[in-house]
Structure 1
């Protein structure tokens, strides 16, 4: 009976035109680095030349904390990084993720079916929907690539072209559109020498006198997101969450203060349904959703092997295992498309 229930539950939640929430797990499926790999890269490749003695001490302390198996975000919260040190961490992060992002783009040129997200969006637009909202904490451009592969117009805060400037949502019109709200910034966002934010398409290195506008973990994250364009993007993401009929979380760990408070309020107060798929459900998902007060949820993670999934449903008293891959987006689409 559970087998029938979860399939119908997945379809019912999907029929409510979900806002899609992408976390790092969605990009990890395409080989992008997560926090662990980023921490290793920073330790190995960070440019510490000509740093002040104080900054060097902070950096060595930070590396020592990481060596004690503390996660990257927690480690960055434990040190007080100067503006210069933070800038170098941002640049090193950009260098790693941008290279991986461009590698994914190159692979996608050879494989028109590379992104399951493409098929999901295309299927959603076969309905009467005019707009789909995607909220993501990721810096990469995989959402944009997925849209472009299926000729889906999108808006992500900027005008079109190679040198893009901030634009209101009403400036860019199309019959159907995906909105991509990148609450922690994007690889192609930079602060220019004029101190405004511009977006530069698929460049190989950081231009001179330009600063990447990505928000790395740590205390700086909360200061930076009070500034534009982050403030407007987060407001739009909040609105997308508030207005959604349901939520579809892909590889999202519920560890971001910019998204999950409003998300959980909607799931608890308004009983809005939520679907979560991931390689492994985070402790935050278990605490906030499975053991929390969310009343309508379907959460799925990988079992002992790729073609096995563990299903947690608000309609069932205990989790159960199915011998098929429905924990990945590729696999889950078989339930709803």
Structure 2
């Protein structure tokens, strides 16, 4: 133990703080960082994939011009979400971008699933959920902006039932939460859609489990960043999913954010009301705290927070606590979910 860690521990027991916040059965918010820990592509890799692999054959001259402007904006170093806001693309081109996005993320998702079949300890999220459900808790809520199914895989590896808005099975249809009854359940509210959601030829939304290609006449239902993001999320099933996520956030007494960058308009408002106006405790574990996280939580008016990011090495963590005036460094990996579990289990 270093002298600065010892000094920090003499002022506040951050492990006790972590355990106290965890004891309040936190709602879990998963961001892209939670998936990146398993090797999923981030925005940079996705942008490169879109430039290289998006099908633009048969598009109009105006659509191709818009696509070229979009690619140039990316080459100029603008991030993907900003680029998709700066360049107005047609519905047809948006559909092409969605299919290219689906192709990359789905291939990585299936690779991780296959790896998990050989590695029972692959998902620390599963161990966290199993630990929480061994108490009197019967329902856990997860809210996520991710398209992948890693949260579902984590549940199943721990033999935990999950609900994502659909019936169970290989060809799943929309179902109300009351249709799925079990003694223990994890609700996974996917506010930007999921790799296994598709619009069918009948124009309804269905779930197709672990397929490796888009079926003929089916359209992936994932919401990419950009100007059409807000239009699409007013439609079903997004509207109901977001409403359920809002209710879960409002009802929660504590929050655990894993790899979440605090950049989503569908999650932020009610979360910040709870943390600022009602002083609900929030824990953040991530590779690197985003500027938005620092502004909203650390530099904002949140009264009860514990934020942990990676330090100079993987075996070092920087801790920000509402009990301390300044961050301090700990010579342990507690910034990853695996490391965080050592604080609470």
Q: TM-score range by the shorter chain?
A: over 0.9
2:294 aligns to what SS in structure 1?
A: helix
User: Take 1:216 and 1:282, find their aligned partners in 2: how far apart are those partners?
Assistant: 20
Equivalences for residues 89-104 of structure 1 within 5 A: 89-104=97-112
User: Take 1:88 and 1:149, find their aligned partners in 2: how far apart are those partners?
Assistant: 34
In the other structure, the counterpart of 2:247 is 239
In the other structure, the counterpart of 2:62 is 54
In the other structure, the counterpart of 2:320 is 312
User: Take 1:302 and 1:174, find their aligned partners in 2: how far apart are those partners?
Assistant: 38
In the other structure, the counterpart of 2:295 is 287
Corresponding residue to 1:187 among 188, 192, 195: 195
CA deviations on 1:45-94 (whole Å, 9 max, x unpaired) are: 11111111001000000011111111100000001110100000000000
Corresponding residue to 1:14 among 11, 22, 39: 22
In the other structure, the counterpart of 2:4 is none
1:324 aligns to what SS in structure 2?
A: coil
Shift of 1:5: 1.8
User: Take 2:123 and 2:282, find their aligned partners in 1: how far apart are those partners?
Assistant: 22
In the other structure, the counterpart of 2:45 is 37
CA deviations on 1:211-255 (whole Å, 9 max, x unpaired) are: 000000011110000000000000000011001110000000000
User: Take 1:153 and 1:313, find their aligned partners in 2: how far apart are those partners?
Assistant: 34
Shift of 1:8: 0.8
1:236 aligns to what SS in structure 2?
A: helix
Note the residue ranges of structure 2 that are not aligned, 5 or more in a row.
1-6
User: Take 1:5 and 1:58, find their aligned partners in 2: how far apart are those partners?
Assistant: 54
User: Take 1:8 and 1:69, find their aligned partners in 2: how far apart are those partners?
Assistant: 42
Equivalences for residues 63-212 of structure 1 within 5 A: 63-212=71-220
User: Take 1:116 and 1:137, find their aligned partners in 2: how far apart are those partners?
Assistant: 19
Corresponding residue to 1:25 among 25, 33, 36: 33
Query: Are 2:221 and 1:213 aligned?
Result: yes
User: Take 1:16 and 1:2, find their aligned partners in 2: how far apart are those partners?
Assistant: 24
Q: TM-score, normalised by structure 2?
A: 0.97
In the other structure, the counterpart of 2:310 is 302
| CA RMSD across the alignment | 0.6
Shift of 1:2: 3.0
| Misfit runs of 4+, over 4 Å | none
Q: TM-score, normalised by structure 1?
A: 0.99
1:311 aligns to what SS in structure 2?
A: strand
User: Take 2:246 and 2:44, find their aligned partners in 1: how far apart are those partners?
Assistant: 28
Shift of 1:10: 0.3
Query: Are 2:262 and 1:254 aligned?
Result: yes
Shift of 1:20: 0.2
User: Take 2:93 and 2:262, find their aligned partners in 1: how far apart are those partners?
Assistant: 28
CA deviations on 1:82-125 (whole Å, 9 max, x unpaired) are: 01000000000000000000000000000011000010000001
1:334 aligns to what SS in structure 2?
A: helix
CA deviations on 1:161-184 (whole Å, 9 max, x unpaired) are: 110000000001000100000000
2:245 aligns to what SS in structure 1?
A: helix
Note the residue ranges of structure 1 that are not aligned, 5 or more in a row.
none
